Chain A
Amino acid sequence: MAVYKRTYAAYQGSFTPAWSRFMILPRYSFARLWQSKFLVMFFMASFFYPLGCVGYIYLSNNLSILSSFGLPAPAGNFLKVDSSLFLYFCWVQGAFAYLLTAFIGPSLVSPDLVNGAMPLYLCRPFSRAEYIVGKMSVLMFLLSQVTWIPGLILFAIQASLAGWEWTMANAWIAGALVVGMLVWIIVLSLIALALSAWVKWKIAAGGLVLGVFFAGAGFGTALNNVMRTQYGTLLNLTQVMYTIWSQLFRVGPTDGISARSAWICLGVVCTICLWMLVKRVRAFEVVK
């Protein structure tokens, strides 16, 4: 139908496969997100630490370069590349991922709920699950780019410099990196989406995402001190995640909760977030 004719004509063309439609949401979301200069700058800043790590890995595999600058060769474990380096990498990049989530997460679901857009999505051959997966994939793609993808690149650089023997002996680190970061990304994404679905005001939802972690940590510490227990640590999600990372990277046991408790805690948090999303993401609102 030509535009100038201004008559209605039915669509006669082909349709895209149903499985691919959840990808439409991240495509439009990214187009909107990258309009923010702050986000672009913050996103770039999140690569400084991985770049520093590249330098560190290069140095650790080329210690002779220090002598060319007239510096003494380091002794002991200094500049050693092992699972601790990747654990710290997870810690630092995990913090960047957390801040990015607090910035982006609330703008994903709450505007759709505020503007009554849910019936528009769901009256099409597009399910609630696809909507949630689509919105979640925005965070998954973005956070992957600052967490496990640069982590794997670091691992690949170290492997190429250290040789086949080191790679075979430490291949599990790559697996731990991917699993540890994916778990963190899923937890962050679900918390951000659930909070933005319940608190429709974007700024408040962003504040809550930050608050859940800080308030949880504070409340957990208070609980530990008052009740003389360690279970308050379960409210400190960063500590819970660190416990899991420590287990995955085979670094000595952390104080407080066991890795098993930490996994159960994250499972419970994810289940609650999914329940919150299922309750809110629907085409109509129940008024009681």
Chain B
Amino acid sequence: MDHPVIELAGLSVRFGNRDILQDLRVSLTGRTIGLLGPNGAGKSTLIQTLLGFVPLSGGSASIFGHDIRQQTRELRALVGYMPENDAFIANLTAVSFIRMMGELAGLPPEAALERAHEVLFYVGLGEARYRLLGTYSLGMKQLAKLAQAIVHGPRLLILDEPTNGLDPPARIRMIRLIKEMKDTGSMHIVLCSHLLRDVEETCEEVLILKKGRIVHYSNLEEERRANKRFVELETVGEEKDFTGALTAMGCECVAAGFGRIKAVLPPDFELREIYRLAAARDLQLRRLNYRRDSLEDIFLKAMET
């Protein structure tokens, strides 16, 4: 029987008198899971709890069916973790560092060395692998952290703010690597971020936290399919006939005056129909703004709850 990737059953965490995570209940099965929330929502604490760093104050949780309290060691062998903050071992070259991390994960020394070279080439640090980690730029350190997280071939890769502090090209590179790893099909990925774009580009499922509670959980693909698509039009000319034609094709149209129309498009409606109908009626289209419910809309809705 296939276990969910992560299962939370009333998981609660408390620091002193403060509830950090409260009664989290969800079963996550996607290949890439986004963990979203504003700063202080409890995303990093949830990750640290799943890794067994932080004690639970209530409930339970499991990863691939391994209870995080009872089977911490087995669980950690399955997980690769890329922490949010700077994390490296001083005075080691990248290849020694990754090799050491591989060995600590249980790889024999020779295999760890081989894997260290492979993953450093894979993340793009092949040419810099004999440099001391202390001399790396921030972007390179992020890539080194990613390399140490995947050196032992984990089944679940947890990335905590992987694009933090990266410039746009480095961010694109990081996102590409995450997508590639997802596409190999050999690992599940949990991406924790407060950047909606990162999650939108890479994740299938999203869990939104706010003040230590789950405020939204959804399958992004289904959400995208279910969400209505809109066009906002600005026209010059006689628009009544045009809106009538759109309505006849199944659109819900609202005229806002001065040639402005907002239309909710039915499924399978092709945008080129709008141009065809406008051309047939000699109607000028000055502006066409096409949009659908994005993750941003979902996130903002969740934040309002």
CA distance A75 to B2 in the complex (A): 86
Which chain A positions have C-beta within 8 A of B77? 15, 124-125
* Interface assignment of A284: CB less than 8 Å from any CB of chain B: yes
Contact of A123 among B79, B108, B118 (CB under 8 A): B79
* Interface assignment of B57: CB less than 8 Å from any CB of chain A: no
Which chain A positions have C-beta within 8 A of B111? 11, 13-14
Q: How large is the interface on A (under 10, 10 to 19, 20 to 34, 35 or more residues)?
A: 35 or more
Interface string of A123-144 (1 = CB under 8 A from B): 1111100000000000000000
Contact of B181 among A8, A13, A28 (CB under 8 A): A8
The chain A residue sitting closest to B74, CB to CB, is: A125
CA distance A115 to B132 in the complex (A): 13
Contact of B53 among A6, A116, A122 (CB under 8 A): A122
B76 touches A124 (CB 8 A): yes
- Given known contacts A8-B122, A120-B83, A283 and B73 CB-to-CB distance under 8 angstroms: no
* Interface assignment of A1: CB less than 8 Å from any CB of chain B: yes
The chain B residue sitting closest to A21, CB to CB, is: B104
Task: Name the distance in Å between A147's Cβ and chain B's nearest Cβ.
Answer: 27
The chain B residue sitting closest to A117, CB to CB, is: B89
Which chain A positions have C-beta within 8 A of B91? 32, 111
* Interface assignment of A227: CB less than 8 Å from any CB of chain B: no
CA distance A120 to B96 in the complex (A): 14
Interface string of A238-272 (1 = CB under 8 A from B): 00000000000000000000000000000000000
Contact of A8 among B51, B85, B184 (CB under 8 A): B184
Which chain B positions have C-beta within 8 A of A4? 121
B54 touches A7 (CB 8 A): no
| Count of CB-CB pairs between chains A and B under 8 Å | 124
Which chain B positions have C-beta within 8 A of A125? 73-74, 76-77, 105-106
B100 touches A24 (CB 8 A): yes
Contact of B89 among A1, A7, A115, A124 (CB under 8 A): A115
Task: Name the distance in Å between B44's Cβ and chain A's nearest Cβ.
Answer: 9
B48 touches A10 (CB 8 A): no
Which chain A positions have C-beta within 8 A of B39? none
Task: Name the distance in Å between A252's Cβ and chain B's nearest Cβ.
Answer: 48
- Given known contacts A8-B122, A115-B88, A123-B81, A284 and B53 CB-to-CB distance under 8 angstroms: yes
Task: Name the distance in Å between A54's Cβ and chain B's nearest Cβ.
Answer: 37
Which chain A positions have C-beta within 8 A of B106? 15-16, 18, 21, 124-125
* Interface assignment of B117: CB less than 8 Å from any CB of chain A: yes
Interface string of B184-220 (1 = CB under 8 A from A): 1011000000000000000000000000000000000
CA distance A122 to B103 in the complex (A): 13
Q: Could you say which of B28-36, B146-154, B249-257, B277-285 contacts chain A?
A: B146-154
Which chain B positions have C-beta within 8 A of A116? 83, 85-88
A114 touches B107 (CB 8 A): no
CA distance A163 to B48 in the complex (A): 62
Task: Name the distance in Å between B189's Cβ and chain A's nearest Cβ.
Answer: 11
* Interface assignment of B15: CB less than 8 Å from any CB of chain A: yes
CA distance A288 to B214 in the complex (A): 25
B104 touches A112 (CB 8 A): no
B104 touches A115 (CB 8 A): no
* Interface assignment of B115: CB less than 8 Å from any CB of chain A: yes
B53 touches A13 (CB 8 A): no
Find the residue from B53, B85, B96 having the highest chain A CB count within 10 A. Answer: B53
Which chain B positions have C-beta within 8 A of A111? 89-91
* Interface assignment of B92: CB less than 8 Å from any CB of chain A: yes
CA distance A16 to B74 in the complex (A): 14
A10 touches B187 (CB 8 A): yes
* Interface assignment of A71: CB less than 8 Å from any CB of chain B: no
The chain A residue sitting closest to B148, CB to CB, is: A120
* Interface assignment of B167: CB less than 8 Å from any CB of chain A: no
A8 touches B180 (CB 8 A): yes
CA distance A137 to B25 in the complex (A): 43
A119 touches B89 (CB 8 A): no
Interface residues in A22-49 (C-beta closer than 8 Å to B): 24, 28, 32
* Interface assignment of B101: CB less than 8 Å from any CB of chain A: yes
* Interface assignment of B126: CB less than 8 Å from any CB of chain A: yes
Which chain A positions have C-beta within 8 A of B108? 13-16
Contact of A11 among B87, B92, B121, B153 (CB under 8 A): B153
Which chain B positions have C-beta within 8 A of A7? 122, 180, 184
* Interface assignment of A3: CB less than 8 Å from any CB of chain B: yes
* Interface assignment of A214: CB less than 8 Å from any CB of chain B: no
* Interface assignment of A9: CB less than 8 Å from any CB of chain B: yes
Can you list 28 contacts pairing A with B, beta carbon distance less than 8 Å? A3-B121, A4-B121, A6-B122, A8-B119, A8-B122, A8-B181, A8-B186, A11-B111, A16-B103, A16-B107, A16-B108, A24-B100, A24-B104, A112-B90, A115-B89, A116-B85, A116-B87, A117-B87, A117-B88, A120-B87, A121-B104, A122-B51, A123-B51, A123-B81, A124-B106, A124-B152, A125-B105, A286-B15
Nearest 7 pairs of A and B residues by beta carbon: A11-B153, A15-B106, A10-B153, A123-B81, A283-B53, A111-B90, A116-B87
Residues of B bordering A, CB below 8 Å: 15, 48, 51, 53-54, 73-74, 76-77, 79-81, 83, 85-92, 96, 100-101, 103-108, 111, 115, 117-119, 121-122, 126, 148, 150-153, 180-181, 184, 186-187
Please give 9 more A-B residue pairs, beta carbons under 8 A apart, in addition to A15-B107, A284-B53: A1-B118, A9-B186, A10-B187, A15-B106, A21-B104, A111-B90, A115-B86, A125-B73, A283-B51
